[in-house]
Amino acid sequence: MALGPNQGSVSLLVLRQGMMVVAVVASGVVVGMALSLLLGRALSRFLYGVSGSDPLSLVGASLALVGVAFVACYLPARSASRVDPLVVLREG
């Protein structure tokens, strides 16, 4: 921010970098969902009230993970955009 970008640009930069990591992890979620569909049938006898390949549970868990990751990226991005550059430069 000492070099010119505004708060929105800094926040977007930090959020974009964090969500890129989430996108890489999302590929692991896709692989995990495929494996859970395969193993779900074998483990279905241990589940109560839910089938081994319940799409609502799988999609819900995946969306919950992405939501938590977004919040985990947004909060530091928000605090990074509100830092006064003069204070940071003096302390650094």
Portion of the chain with pLDDT greater than 90, in percent: 0
Residue 43 contacts residue 52 (beta carbons within 8 Å): yes
How far is it, in rounded angstroms, from Cα 7 to Cα 18? 17
3-state helix, strand, coil in the chain (%, to 5): 80, 0, 20
Residue 11 contacts residue 80 (beta carbons within 8 Å): yes
Residue 70: CB atoms within 10 Å: 14
pLDDT at 2 over 60: no
What is the average pLDDT value for the chain, to the nearest integer?
79
Q: What is the pLDDT of residue 1?
A: 53
Mean of pLDDT values over 13-18: 83
**What confidence tier does 3 reach under pLDDT thresholds 50, 70, 90?**
low
* Residue closest to 80 by CA, chosen among 3, 6, 26, 4: 6
